[in-house]
Amino acid sequence: MPNTLFKKAIVSGEPGTAGTPAIPGRPAVPARWEKIVDSSGAARQSALNLLTAQLSSGFITQEQYVASLDNLPPQTITTLVFVPGTPEVPPVPGTPGTESTLVTALNIGWNAGARSIQEEKAGCEVSFTFSQETAGAVAGFNNLSDESANLNEIGWGFQFLAGNVRVIESNIFIPITPSSVSEGAVFKIVRDGDGVVTYHIDAALVYTSTKRSVGTVFLDAVIYSADGV
């Protein structure tokens, strides 16, 4: 059953900000005296109430009471009130909002891969393809432990680099012909019953390994950059 191995990009980002509105500020205002006009008659009524209370209590006579009526405050009075000044408040400019940002990290490096569940102890073969968009990938036989995404673990494989291809055996690179392929090319690695490994592209033999493969092997693959398949 065919399977697809791909490497995801890591997308992160920061939310935007709303910004802040500008504050207009205000000019300085000097200290001053202001006239306050009171036409309520409150002062006159208060003085009249006091005279009436004094008359009722016997502190003043009727004659004194009548005479004092001429001295009551007027109905409307004007007073001066001191108003302290205020300092200048300078304007504060607003800050513009910012847009949300997204950052895509392609997770560069030989740090993502997978291996087959199936293992083989005798003659076997594997077939696979690479996408032309793949920046870098390696696939082939591994007869070691699968401890990490590591090129050294693949003893017999193809390395694909954006359309260019070569054989890789335990991190030793071997040029082949053709050295570049088109989209959809089928890569096949075959181990016969004697442990001889051959490499094929679209059914054509491109290389026979000088290193025999013995023991248990499985398909191992490593991808270099996100969005590779």
DSSP secondary structure string for all residues of the chain: -------PPEEEEE--B--B--B--B--B--EEEEEEE-S-HHHHHHHHHHHHHHHHTSS-HHHHHHHGGGSPPSSEEEEEEE--B--B--B--B--B--EEEEE---SS-EEEE-S--BSSSEEEEE---TT-S-EEEEEE-S---SS-GGG-SEEEEEETTEEEEEETTEEE--SSSB--TTPPEEEEE-TTS-EEEEETTEEEEE-SS---S-BEEEEEE-STT--
Taking residues 97-108, report their average pLDDT.
85
Residue type, 150: N
For the cut 80, the answer to whether the pLDDT of residue 220 exceeds it is yes
Q: What is the pLDDT of residue 16?
A: 87
| Confidence band, pLDDT 50/70/90 cuts, at residue 110 | confident
Give the integer Cα–Cα distance in Å for 73 and 67.
14
Say how far apart CA 156 and CA 168 lie, in whole Å. Answer: 6
- Residue 47, pLDDT > 90, answer no
Is the pLDDT at 1 greater than 60? The verdict is no
Q: What are the two backbone dihedrals, phi and then psi, of residue 62, each rounded to the nearest 5 degrees?
A: -65, -40
- Which of residues 141 and 115 earns the better pLDDT score? 141
| Overall residue count recorded for the chain in this entry | 229
The two tokens of residue 32 are 């001053």
Looking at the whole model, is its pTM more than 0.75? no
Q: Where in the chain is the domain with CATH 2.60.120.920?
A: 109-223
Q: How confident is the model at residue 32, as a pLDDT?
A: 92
Residue 58 has pLDDT above 90, yes or no: no
Flag whether pLDDT at 143 surpasses 60: yes
In the predicted model, what is the mean pLDDT of residues 191-213?
96
- Which CATH superfamily is 109-223 part of? SPRY domain (2.60.120.920)
Are the beta carbons of 95 and 19 closer than 8 angstroms? yes
The label of the residue with tokens 């968009």 reads 133
Q: Per residue in 183-197, pLDDT tens? A: 999 999 999 999 999
- 2 pLDDT tier (thresholds 50, 70, 90): low
Comparing CA positions, the residue from 177, 179, 187 lying closest to residue 131 is 187
What are 139's strand-pairing partners?
158, 221
Nearest to 137 by CA among 226, 11, 8, 9: 226
> Residue 227 pLDDT more than 70?
no
Cα 136 to Cα 201: distance, rounded to the nearest angstrom: 18
Q: Which residues contact 161 (CB under 8 A, 6 or more apart)?
A: 135, 136
